[in-house]
């Protein structure tokens, strides 16, 4: 059984794949945990999901270098497997023309791999995480770059920190654009404003790709914004994990 581990700045997503599909997907906070503490948590999650605490393959895509050692030790000590780390496009046959190539995060490489496999090229992946990233693959299947926006949760937190009276809001589809109270007005401005920004960036990227490209959403809030953004064609909740699965196959 394969473990795919997507280590992000805010959350770490762990997927268990049995060769047929994802048997379980878990989301943990990324933080200062020892390998033993993580093993205890994952062992309990395995029991709850009726899965063995064992692995044949472990593939890690991390954008938090300080977490790499913890996951390596966990895999070696508790799963008895030497983990593989997705770090560069040339490990998996993905041409990267971004400058410099090594600056592309593992999550973005995984997104590109899965999107190419599923939708062909050109393709754009909008990943809604701590930052919202636009991963762009051209018609020749080269990862050419994209765009990076502050994530909507980060934007809301910044707004709350710099205002005295604005209340917290829920990041959900607003009932209407005209907010009839402060909370509703905030929800409208944040959510419709952010969706419009995503559409604007996606439209420019697609235009630069020649006017035709599939736009795929993924990430924690991807499903919400996929229903709000006119330029997003489809939502794939496990796209990054799917890309890590492909990476593991190509690195074997």
The set of catalytic residues is 107
Q: Determine the Cα–Cα distance for residues 203 and 215; give it in Å rounded to an integer.
A: 10
Q: Determine the Cα–Cα distance for residues 246 and 234; give it in Å rounded to an integer.
A: 20
Calculate ∠ Cα 160-164-166, nearest 5°.
Answer: 55
The number of C-alpha atoms within 13 Å of 45 and in the hemisphere containing its C-beta is: 17
| Cβ neighbours for 129, distance < 8 A, ≥ 6 positions apart | 8, 9, 10, 11, 107, 151, 219, 220
Greatest CA separation found in the chain?
Answer: 57
| Cβ neighbours for 211, distance < 8 A, ≥ 6 positions apart | none
Q: Determine the Cα–Cα distance for residues 139 and 207; give it in Å rounded to an integer.
A: 13
Select from 31, 8, 17, 4 the least CA-distant residue to 219: 8
Select from 104, 149, 134 the least CA-distant residue to 216: 134
Both ends of the chain: CA-CA distance in Å? 14
| Cβ neighbours for 103, distance < 8 A, ≥ 6 positions apart | none
């Amino acid at each position: 059984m394969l473990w795919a581990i997507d280590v992000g700045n805010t959350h770490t997503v762990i997927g268990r794949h049995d060769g047929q599909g994802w048997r379980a997907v878990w989301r943990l906070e990324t933080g200062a945990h020892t390998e033993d503490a993580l093993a205890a948590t994952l062992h309990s999650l395995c029991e709850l999901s009726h899965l063995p605490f064992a692995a044949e393959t472990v593939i890690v895509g991390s954008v938090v270098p300080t977490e790499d050692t913890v996951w390596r030790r966990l895999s070696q000590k508790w799963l008895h497997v030497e983990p593989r780390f997705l770090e560069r496009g040339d490990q998996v046959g993905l041409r990267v023309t971004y400058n410099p190539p090594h600056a592309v995060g593992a999550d973005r490489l995984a997104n590109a791999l899965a999107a190419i496999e599923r939708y062909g090229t050109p393709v754009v992946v909008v990943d809604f995480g701590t930052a919202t990233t636009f991963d762009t693959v051209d018609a020749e299947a080269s990862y050419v770059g994209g765009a990076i926006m502050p994530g909507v949760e980060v934007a809301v937190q910044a707004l709350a920190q710099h205002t005295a009276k604005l209340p917290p809001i829920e990041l959900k589809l607003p009932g209407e654009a005209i907010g009839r109270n402060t909370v509703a007005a905030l929800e409208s401005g944040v959510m419709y404003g952010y969706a419009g920004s995503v559409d604007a960036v996606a439209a420019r990227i697609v235009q630069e790709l020649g006017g035709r490209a599939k736009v795929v959403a993924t990430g924690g809030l991807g499903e919400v914004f996929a229903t709000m953004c006119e330029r997003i064609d489809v939502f794939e909740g496990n796209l990054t994990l799917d890309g890590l699965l492909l990476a593991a196959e190509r690195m074997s």
